[in-house]
Amino acid sequence: MEFKSRNQGQLLSKIATNDGHGENSPYFDGWKAYDSDPYHPTENPHGVIQMGLAENQLCFDLIQEWIKNNPKASICTAEGAADFKDIAIYQDYHGLPQFRNAVARFMEKVRGNRVRFDPDRIVMSGGATGAQETLAFCLVDRGEALLVPTPYYPGNDRDLTWRTGVKLVPVVCESSDAFQITRAALEAAYKQAQDSNIRVKGLLLNNPSNPLGTVIDRQTLQESLDFTADKNIHLICDEIYSATVSGQPGFTSIAEVVQENPHCNLDLVHIVYSLSKDLGFPGFRVGVVYSYNDAVVSCARKMSSFGLVSTQTQRLIAGMLSDEEFVDGFLAESRRRLGKRRADMCEGLGQVGIWNLEGNAGLFCWMDLRRLLKAATYEAELELWRLIVNEVKLNVSPGAAFHCSEPGWFRVCFANMDDETMEVAMERIRKFVARKQRRRMELEVSLSFRRRRDELVMMSPHSPMASPLVRART
């Protein structure tokens, strides 16, 4: 006998029945469009190309080669099977010592060996998603808030608020200032929260920025540290794209800034990291909370039991990241390939008159399509986005999903596909923009013709407007 409830809301929790996950966003709708009609070069050449997923697939060949050359790193090979029992049994949720040591050393290398990280302060989590939520639980009570500069990653609305009850207060950044974070914007957001009787507990920075593809300079980091110190609130720095920076300006970690400020309150500074973007391992779910606050480390470690990294994964990662020669070569080649892919994409877009915010980090470009909008509204932005997804068959992400302060900006990802698929995507963009420009020119010609025709009618001696009586009245 099957029991059906007339009202599921009376049987399930508020979390189960609310809309806090945020799946009703164009950001996730684009993914659904791709999932229902995925592009394939031979089986579905007219399908949707996924350009809404920030995934780094450009160096998988290097990873695969290392795995082939180091079969003992995995317990799922004949060479590594002897260690199966030791890895399969319960482990301390502090994590394998060799794993924490290797991750700490990798974080140092990514930051140019300018800082040191204590392996005992590394707390594992299920990806950056888990790390963000763990820190939210540790630092912020339900109904309190974090300040977040816009535009920001749409997943923050889910990761930081859905289960925690935390609020996000946007720090509005403008395109006229290249979306840079200013003290004035921070103060305005803080005052807005105060005026709404919302207690602010921290500031969340994403450096390098998703979706902007830019790095936060040292001065802005220092000003942000000063701001949080003045307000006695936490500073959380999400640095998951730190190894994706190619060229200058280089990446500066908040760890470098606090190292240069011996009198700052380290208890208020925390870092989120993962291997999802820098190594291209989102499926491994390796996230890290690094806090200078002993109480946060202790609490986060206890919470980590809800989202541990599997010991098998820890063992493999420890072996790979302990191979310093491999790591050095991988980081250099990954940056080179990401830089070339970005340059190729920006050049292709520039050829059809599409401008991108200047950047050198991340796995995406922040694309300016404001001139293609019918009007400077978010409704017009969504109309253009639907056209791009449904007709051009490209899943790009509209700025509204990132809480951008003005319509017409789109995030477009470039590192989750091969060169051939990228060329197909660029050709679709070229044809789309050319078609839009042709229609605009036709419209302008039509309007010009109508204006000229009206002028000729006005000037005709047979026109009523040519009558002396009409002219006298006007």
Q: Considering the candidates 236, 238, 292, 317, report the single residue annotated as catalytic.
A: 238
* 236, 289 Cβ separation under 8 angstroms: no
What's residue 460's pLDDT? Answer: 58
What's residue 9's pLDDT? Answer: 56
Structure tokens at 285: 């779910």
What's residue 95's pLDDT? Answer: 83
Peptide bond preceding 208 in cis form (omega within 30 of 0): yes
Peptide bond preceding 151 in cis form (omega within 30 of 0): yes
Contacts of 450 (CB under 8 A, 6+ apart): none
Interval 407-428: pLDDT, tens = 999 999 999 999 999 999 999 9
Interval 39-63: pLDDT, tens = 999 999 999 999 999 999 999 999 9
* Arithmetic mean of pLDDT, 69-93: 77
Contacts of 171 (CB under 8 A, 6+ apart): 147, 148, 149, 150, 181, 185, 186, 188, 189, 203
Question: Rounded to an integer, what distance in angstroms lies between the CA atom of residue 235 and that of residue 250?
Answer: 21
With a cut of 60, say whether residue 160 has pLDDT above it. Answer: yes
* 107, 273 Cβ separation under 8 angstroms: yes
Question: Rounded to an integer, what distance in angstroms lies between the CA atom of residue 383 and that of residue 405?
Answer: 18
What's residue 453's pLDDT? Answer: 59
Alpha helices in 4-96 (DSSP H): 14-17, 26-36, 60-69, 84-88
Peptide bond preceding 249 in cis form (omega within 30 of 0): yes
Contacts of 49 (CB under 8 A, 6+ apart): 34, 39, 393, 394, 395, 417, 421, 424, 425, 428
What's residue 262's pLDDT? Answer: 85
Question: Rounded to an integer, what distance in angstroms lies between the CA atom of residue 154 and that of residue 273?
Answer: 18
With a cut of 70, say whether residue 454 has pLDDT above it. Answer: no
Interval 307-359: pLDDT, tens = 888 888 888 899 999 999 999 999 999 999 999 999 999 999 999 999 999 99
Task: Provide the percentage of residues in the chain whose pLDDT is more than 90.
Answer: 71
468 pLDDT band (50/70/90 cuts)? very low
215 pLDDT band (50/70/90 cuts)? very high
* Arithmetic mean of pLDDT, 217-240: 97
Structure tokens at 43: 């089986």
Interval 22-35: pLDDT, tens = 777 888 888 899 99
- Residue 225 CA, chain-centre distance (Å), reads 22
DSSP character string of 75-118: TTSTTTGGGHHHHHS---TT--HHHHHHHHHHHHHHTTT-S---
Q: Considering the candidates 167, 201, 277, 393, report the single residue annotated as catalytic.
A: 277
1 pLDDT band (50/70/90 cuts)? very low
Q: How many C-beta atoms lie closer than 10 Å to residue 441's C-beta?
A: 10
Q: Which of 35-49, 277-291, 414-428, 453-467 has the lowest mean pLDDT?
A: 453-467
* Arithmetic mean of pLDDT, 393-420: 96
With a cut of 50, say whether residue 296 has pLDDT above it. Answer: yes
Q: How many C-beta atoms lie closer than 10 Å to residue 308's C-beta?
A: 17
With a cut of 60, say whether residue 283 has pLDDT above it. Answer: yes
**92 labelled catalytic:** no
Mean pLDDT value across the chain: 89
Alpha helices in 232-293 (DSSP H): 254-259
End-to-end, the C-alpha distance of the chain in Å comes to: 84
The single-letter DSSP state of residue 463 is S
Relative to beta strand 200-206, strand 234-238 is parallel
* 279, 304 Cβ separation under 8 angstroms: no
Question: Rounded to an integer, what distance in angstroms lies between the CA atom of residue 145 and that of residue 167?
Answer: 4
**216 labelled catalytic:** no
74 pLDDT band (50/70/90 cuts)? confident
Task: Provide the percentage of residues in the chain whose pLDDT is more than 70.
Answer: 90
Q: Considering the candidates 75, 122, 236, 240, report the single residue annotated as catalytic.
A: 240
**290 labelled catalytic:** no
470 pLDDT band (50/70/90 cuts)? very low
**153 labelled catalytic:** yes
What's residue 73's pLDDT? Answer: 79
Q: Which of 73-82, 180-189, 259-268, 277-286 has the lowest mean pLDDT?
A: 73-82
What's residue 76's pLDDT? Answer: 79
Q: Considering the candidates 153, 241, 273, 290, report the single residue annotated as catalytic.
A: 153
- Residue 221 CA, chain-centre distance (Å), reads 19
Alpha carbon distances (Å) from 278 to 4, 42, 54, 115, 332: 47, 31, 11, 18, 11
b (16+ CB within 10 A) / e for 226-250: ebbbebebbbbbbbbbbbbbbeeee
Question: Rounded to an integer, what distance in angstroms lies between the CA atom of residue 447 and that of residue 453?
Answer: 10
Which has more confidence, 436 or 348?
348
